[in-house]
Structure 1
Amino acid sequence: MNKYFSVIAAFLYKEIKTTYYYKFHSVIKFLFSLVQLVVFYYFCSLISKEYFKFLFFGLLFSKIFSYTTTVLIETIKQEQFSQTIYNILSLPYYELTVLMLNFFAKTILFFFDLTIFVFCSILFFGIKLNIAHIIFLIVFTTYTIIIFLWYTIIVCSLTFLIKKFEHFIYLLNSLIDILSGVYFPTTVLPKVLQNISCLLPTTYILSFLRETITLKTNYKLLVYPTICGTIFLPLSILLFNFILKKILKTGKLTTY
């Protein structure tokens, strides 16, 4: 177990150094999130403050979901572009284990980023959260990341197979945001889209987040996402193994 922590620590050190080196980029990303909140806050104030609260938790979930599903894509793309993907995967561990350790290291920094996002919302945008809410958000974020690992692994696998696949994922995630009720209730969607929304585990997890914050916890909402995560995780690992073996045989692992 200590050897895994050592690898995570090494990846974490690398990420901190990279973030520091590209600190201007990190500042711009943070300012973009802040500007996004300002714009939404202004438009929501024209409707009602309650709507901004509804939207804020949608944006928070979207931020968590987007990170979970795209961080490994960005890692693979970066390593392929710099021709260091073989160096990463040549560590004396199973390839998926290496990627997951890298993922966990990045997740530590993501929690820091998410904490700043939440506290800025509390300080400047009137979002009222107590200590219990903060603890819940930590647990909720951890659950969401774990439950969507299967999606992360599938996306990671297809990134190896289909070059520039990340562009499709960004589009897909945007559609999932809309269908899951990030920006507005799913009840305002056309009936066909409401039916699709009911099939998405993200819809139930986001509903659970909003209901729990308003003290109406309904754990039944987590049953479907948990079942999906349990079923699809081993399938995603099988897919990853199959695609990686195929890519290694063709020698196209470093091609971006």
Structure 2
Amino acid sequence: MSPGDEHDGFGGTGGTGQTRTRLPEGNSGDFHGNRRPARGTRSLLTVVGVVVLLVGAIALANRGGGTPSKPGATGAPGGPAPTAATGVRPVTGGNGTVPTGYAHDEQGAQSAATNYAVALGSTDMFQDGPREAVVRATHAPAVVENLLKLLDASYSADFMSSVGLDANGTAPSGLTFVSRTVPIGAKVRDYKGTSATVDVWCTGLVGLAGPGSTKPVTSTWFTLTQKLVWVGGDWRVASSTQAEGPTPVNGDNRASIADEIAAAVEGYGGFTYAR
């Protein structure tokens, strides 16, 4: 994931249009190019806006419930349920480490876009095999091959070195590479049965944690817009773009030392999200 123009694109047009992504730039020393606008210590936006990829719960996968008349609408009429799990039971299937098998409705599209943002913003995107698995699990078949070629070329040895990793995407001994996307919420901008456009508001962590790190873990805020298509019985990404923010004011929390961050990343697993 690397910083760059939000409108950088990659070819691969499927039946729904062009897939777009921000690709890593080898001369960048930043991290989240996959999912963040160019700014300071951000870099690395992986696939589709790629993300992205990239922990404030929308609704955890193992929580289900009844089916309200309108998914996501409880409490005040027409209002969202910011903390309660709503709608049909969340997805239970998976393709490798990526949750798949979403409901063919607006709620399913939100769940897919949210979980895909997490996968596309993970450390898997920095290693060849895992990156290919994530891309194939999240994207429409029509755009996969071209996207993989572009990503493989972008994650070059020079780029890996610029973010503190070796050519295989491995962090130096004693350091932990951190790349996590944490969804805060999601909303459907457009839904047409076989296609949907979903915004996922996220925060992200990226950097090298551990003693002596010169690239400390930092946080960023961004909104990932994913265009999804219903293909092969599931929602898949056709294209994606990303915008900075909304970004809240920083609180008064003290910054943790590198060892604390490394221990937290290794000790706390991620979630499967669903709405």
Do they fold alike, i.e. is TM over 0.5? no
Relative to total residues, which structure has the larger helix share, 1 or 2? 1
Q: TM-score, normalised by structure 2?
A: 0.28
Question: Higher relative contact order at CA 8 Å, sep ≥6: structure 1 or structure 2?
Answer: 1
Q: TM-score, normalised by structure 1?
A: 0.29
